[in-house]
A and B are shown apart, each in its own frame.
Chain A
Amino acid sequence: MSESGHSATGYIVHHLTNLKIGEGFWAVHIDTLFFSASLGALFLWLFMKAAKSATSDVPGPLQNFCEIMVDFVDTQVKDSFHGRNPVIAPLALTIFVWVFLWNAMDLVPVDLLPSIASLFGIHYLRTVPSTDLNSTFGMSISVLLLVYYYSIKVKGPVHFTMEVLTHPFGKWLMPFNLLLRIVEDLAKPISLGLRLFGNLYAGELIFILIALLPWWIQFTLGWPWAVFHILVITLQAFIFMVLTIVYLSMAHEDH
């Protein structure tokens, strides 16, 4: 909704500013933390409710839904990871559902929650956690740490160091191997985090731009974009999950 008195640039910048406490590095985005934690709680509440009453008899609707999700994730994990690891599948489930819920916040009308919040004196609010680099990188860096943890745990420190130093060009090109490895491992979290961030940031920006149109024409662009976005939010959650599984299964195997 274009409000008279605000310039378009002001409107857009306003929508892209986080609710922030503190300055510099130690500042925190309250809105990102609040919404991602709430969505995480929603996920846990829903799935724990289903898990608590899980039965091998005829499942109810909630259990059915959760089983479909679990089965879907389990199939993905089994397809690309052949070792035994009790963490990967639950991790993948958490990533898929959590990222999906983050992204789904993009379908909430862009002005709805900020307008409500402004009634309570909160003047900046970004509702989509995946449009905050801190969220996407928080997750991708966690995944990288897990990749390192399992690489070292499965292969042993010595074997792991050997692998870093001697692959892929053999031991005589050790510096190049190391350099290549560093680039490779940096590329993982950056590509993971930026892909999700970029897609959702762009999506949100389009929604904000559409919101600048007169109200009677908004649906002509807003509706197709929202429908298209249903695909995007699911796809991005799926990609993040699958790449996590692939990275972790690579950590378990020799190059």
Chain B
Amino acid sequence: MNFNATLIGQMITFGLLVLFTMKYVWPPIIQAMQDRQKRIADGLASAERGVHEQELAQAKAAQMLKEAKQQAADIVAQANKRANEIIEQSKLDARTEGSRQLAAAQAEIEQEINRAREQLRGQVVNLAVAGAGKILKREVDEAANAAMLDDLVAQL
């Protein structure tokens, strides 16, 4: 058991070590640790927030999808309806046009018949006149018999 001045030397060394630790070692390390703790806490909080926001966004997206589907269905239904309408309209138009053209054709045919009949009448008259001329073998005064012939034509 030999106590001596080493004791004082050791106390001085100890004091210096504590002083340096207090001033230069402890504060920066504990500060860094606290900062990191705070950053981790912040990070966790924002992750939590992110998850929440993502849930919201998902719900919103689902809502929008539903609306879009509804809209699409509406549009398809409308288009179908419109198509049917157009088809009906076309059918109606076609029918009208058809009957109109039919009527026009019939009118034309009627006209053609009339015209042919007129021509035939003329020719029949000429034929009758020629026939009669040949039968009578004499000059028939066309002018004198014109009235009688017109009467004949009208009777045909």
Please give the residue numbers on chain A whose beta carbons come within 8 Å of chain B beta carbons, in ascending order: 18, 22, 24-29, 32-33, 36-37, 40, 43-44, 47-48, 50-52, 54-57, 59, 63, 66-67, 70-71, 74, 86-87, 89-91, 93-94, 98, 129, 132-135, 137-139, 141-142
Contact = CB atoms under 8 A, between A and B. Distances in A.
A133 to B, nearest CB: 6
Given A71-B33, A86-B22, A36 B28 contact: no
Contacts of A132: 6
9 contacts: A36-B10, A40-B13, A51-B26, A54-B32, A56-B38, A134-B6, A134-B9, A135-B10, A142-B15
Q: Is the interface of B mostly helix, strand, loop or mixed?
A: helix
Given A47-B25, A56-B35, 18 more contacts: A22-B4, A28-B9, A40-B13, A44-B20, A48-B24, A50-B25, A51-B27, A52-B28, A56-B39, A63-B32, A66-B29, A94-B14, A98-B14, A98-B17, A129-B10, A132-B6, A137-B3, A137-B7
Contacts of A63: 29, 32
A21 to B, nearest CB: 10
Contacts, number: 131
A94 B30 contact: no
Which of B1, B24, B33, B38 neighbours the largest number of chain A CB atoms within 10 Å of its CB? B33
Interface of B: 1-11, 13-18, 20-22, 24-33, 35-36, 38-39
A47 B25 CA distance: 6
A134 B3 contact: yes
A57 B39 CA distance: 9
A70 B24 CA distance: 13
Given A28-B4, A29-B4, A44-B17, A54 B31 contact: yes
A138 B4 contact: no
Contact of B30 (A18, A70, A91, A138): A70
A134 B7 contact: yes
Which of B11, B25, B27, B30 neighbours the largest number of chain A CB atoms within 10 Å of its CB? B25
Contact of B10 (A33, A48, A70, A90): A33
